[in-house]
Amino acid sequence: MWRVRRRWVVVVALAVLVLVACVVADHVDLAYYELTPGVAQPVAPLVKVPPGRGHRVHGQVLLTDVFITQVTALSYVFDVLRGNSQMLPVTTVLGPATPPSQLLSQGYLEMEQSQEAAKAAALTRLGYDVKAHNSGTVVFSVVPGTPAANVLAIGQIVTSVDGRATPDACAFAQALALRHPGQQVDLSVERSSVNSRAVMVPGPIVHERVRLGRWPTSVPHPVATSACPGTGWHTQGFLGVQAETQVDFHFPFAITLRTTSIGGPSAGLAMTLGILDTLSGSDLTGGHTIAATGTIAPTGAVGAVGGVPEKTVAVERAGATVFFVPATQVATARSKATPSLEVYGVHSLGQVLSDLRRLGGVVPPPPTSHGS
Q: What is the pLDDT of residues 232-256, one digit of tens each?
A: 888 899 999 999 999 999 999 999 9
Model confidence at 24: pLDDT above 50: no
Comparing 13-17, 65-69, 87-91, 185-189, which segment has the lowest mean pLDDT? 13-17
Choose the most confident range, by mean pLDDT, from 7-11, 13-17, 81-85. 81-85
Exposed / middle / buried, residue 135 (Cβ in 10 Å: 0-12, 13-18, 19+): middle
Q: How far apart are CA 160 and CA 371, in angstroms?
A: 34
pLDDT by residue (tens digit) across 261-299?
899 999 999 999 999 999 998 899 998 999 999 999 999
Structure confidence by residue, pLDDT tens digits, 323-368: 999 999 999 999 999 999 999 999 999 999 999 999 999 998 877 6
For the chain, domain boundaries? 29-130+251-358, 131-248
The pLDDT score that the predictor gives to residue 8 is: 53
DSSP label at 361? -
* Res 56: pLDDT: 86
Mean pLDDT of 172-193: 95
pLDDT-derived band of residue 121, with 50, 70 and 90 as boundaries? very high
Q: What angle do CA 163, 228, 250 make, to 5 degrees?
A: 70
Statement: residue 370 has pLDDT above 80: no
HSE (side-chain half, CA atoms, 13 Å) at 140 = 16
Predicted confidence (pLDDT) at residue 30 exceeds the cutoff of 80: no
CATH number of the 131-248 domain: 2.30.42.10
Report how far residue 118's alpha carbon sits from residue 257's, in angstroms, rounded to the nearest whole number. 10
Per-residue pLDDT for 190 more than 80? yes
| Cα 4 from Cα 352, distance rounded (Å) | 72
> What is the identity of the amino acid at 359?
L
Q: From CA 94, how far away is CA 140, in angstroms rounded?
A: 11
Instruction: Give dist(CA 300, CA 349) in Å, integer.
Output: 5
The amino acid that residue 89 corresponds to is P
Beta strands in the chain (DSSP E): 29-42, 47-48, 60-72, 86-89, 131-142, 157-161, 164-165, 184-190, 193-194, 200-201, 205-211, 241-250, 256-257, 289-292, 295-296, 302-303, 322-326, 342-346
C-alpha to C-alpha distances, 67 to 52, 64, 264, 278, 314, nearest whole angstrom: 37, 10, 12, 28, 11
Range with the lowest mean pLDDT among 89-98, 125-134, 218-227, 287-296? 89-98
Domain 29-130+251-358 has CATH 3.40.50.720: no
Q: How far is CA 202 from the centre of its chain?
A: 20
pLDDT at 22 > cutoff 50: no
Per-residue confidence (pLDDT) for residue 114, from 0 to 100: 97
Enter the DSSP assignment of 213: B
CB atoms within 10 A of CB 17: 10
| pLDDT surpassing 70 at residue 101 | yes
pLDDT digits (tens, 9 = 90+) for 298-322: 999 999 999 999 999 999 999 999 9
Q: What is the pLDDT of residue 116?
A: 98
Instruction: Report if pTM > 0.95.
Output: no
